[in-house]
């Protein structure tokens, strides 16, 4: 063990080196590391149920992976956290298990509706909105928006037109079935029952919301459970309509989604489209801390989620 005088000498040398680094930084004009304007967290497809594994999906492990994400995000202190859909898989009783874990978040939490969220017992689809607090936001139909520090965040409900979320025999279910059949007739890869669409009223609301954000000189981030890009079997039924609305707005910066558990990325028209990996897959968690800067967004991935840098391709406001 070093003697006391020796430890004293070491401490003096360390202090001198630190002081020299500070002086050198001042002499060379080195700028301090930039600080984000604000941060927020993202997580997708927790998809908990009390069921045995199926392939690469480990349903019961999702509670531990969600708890890990909540604990880490609490330590990182984001402004808010968004859950991108499919918090459960099937039975509505699964909410009794995962919602108390989600409630440990110290930051405000926001939910996005996924197809599995409303794949519950017949007649209980509307109850899901109440349990997730979505009946009190926006029009109370699962889509809404909120603002933070000059940014507008838009949450879409991809179950708006759905054969899963609409009870049988209702006009909404019939309209969804008709849209799905038309997609099948065209051999569209996303003609799948597990997908859904954004209805006409919600699409009009989206266009109005983007217009108000542009008038207020706000940048916009959009959240939806279902991707619109890259193309594939997991996109919204009316992905082209939604994509056209996003590209027509000069203030949309990014679109974050889940649903496709492998994750994905695309850029089109100056908008970044990021699909997060599903928590339910494998044995490691997957979530993101999003750091918002003046000229870019930094995604710091944890677990199976990669990190990315998203530069703003559109003119700053």
pLDDT at 3: 45
pLDDT surpasses 80 at 297: yes
CATH number of 39-311: 3.60.21.10
Q: Name the percent of the chain lying above pLDDT 70.
A: 89
pLDDT for res 17:
44
**pLDDT tier at 314, thresholds 50, 70, 90:** low
In the predicted structure, residue 209 carries a pLDDT above the cut 90: yes
Question: How confident is the model at residue 31, as a pLDDT?
Answer: 63
pLDDT band of 122, cuts 50, 70, 90: confident
157 has a pLDDT exceeding 60: yes
Mean pLDDT for the stretch of residues 150-177 = 94
**pLDDT score at 18:** 44
Cα 119 from Cα 159, distance rounded (Å): 10
Three-state DSSP string of 90-129: CCHHHHHHHHHHHCCCCCCEEECCCCHHHCCCCCCHHHHH
Mean pLDDT of 119-136: 92
Give the confidence band of 302 by pLDDT, cuts at 50, 70, 90: very high
Q: How is residue 169 written in tokens?
A: 């025999």
- Per-residue pLDDT tens digits for 51-72: 999 999 999 999 999 999 999 9
First to last CA, the chain: 60
pLDDT exceeds cutoff 50 at 5: no
pLDDT of residue 29: 56
**Per-chain mean pLDDT for the chain:** 91
- pLDDT-wise least confident of 26-35, 135-144, 153-162: 26-35
> Residue with structure tokens 């989620």?
305
Mean of pLDDT values over 214-218 = 97
Pairing of strands 271-275, 264-268: antiparallel
Determine the pLDDT at residue 30.
Answer: 58
């Amino acid at each position: 063990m070093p003697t006391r005088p020796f430890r004293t000498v070491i401490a003096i040398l360390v202090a001198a080196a630190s002081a020299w680094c500070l002086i050198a930084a001042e002499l060379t004009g080195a700028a301090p590391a930039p600080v984000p304007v604000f941060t927020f967290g993202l997580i997708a497809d927790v998809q908990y149920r009390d069921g045995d594994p199926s392939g690469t999906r480990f349903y019961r492990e999702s509670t531990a992976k969600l708890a890990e994400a909540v604990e880490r995000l609490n330590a990182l202190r984001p402004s808010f956290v968004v859950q991108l859909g499919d918090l459960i898989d099937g039975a509505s009783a699964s909410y009794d298990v995962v919602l108390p874990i989600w409630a440990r978040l110290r930051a405000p939490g926001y939910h996005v509706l996924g197809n599995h969220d409303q794949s519950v017992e017949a007649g209980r689809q509307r109850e899901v909105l109440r349990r997730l607090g979505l009946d009190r936001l926006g029009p109370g139909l699962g889509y809404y928006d909120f603002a933070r520090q000059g940014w507008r965040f838009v949450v879409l409900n991809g179950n708006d037109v759905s054969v899963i979320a609409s009870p049988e025999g209702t006009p909404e279910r019939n309209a969804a079935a008709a849209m799905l059949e038309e997609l099948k007739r065209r051999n569209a890869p996303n003609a799948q029952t597990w997908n859904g669409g954004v209805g006409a009223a919600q699409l009009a609301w989206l266009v109005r919301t983007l217009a108000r954000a542009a008038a207020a000189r706000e940048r916009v981030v959009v959240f939806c459970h279902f991707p619109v890009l890259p193309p594939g079997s997991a996109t919204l039924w009316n992905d082209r309509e939604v994509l056209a609305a996003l590209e027509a707005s000069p203030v949309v910066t990014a679109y974050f989604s889940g649903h496709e558990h492998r994750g994905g990325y695309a850029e089109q028209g100056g908008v970044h489209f990021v699909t997060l990996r599903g928590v339910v897959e494998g044995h490691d968690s997957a979530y993101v801390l999003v750091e918002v800067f003046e000229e870019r967004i930094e995604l710091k991935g944890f677990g199976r989620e990669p990190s990315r840098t998203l530069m703003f391709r559109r003119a700053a406001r």
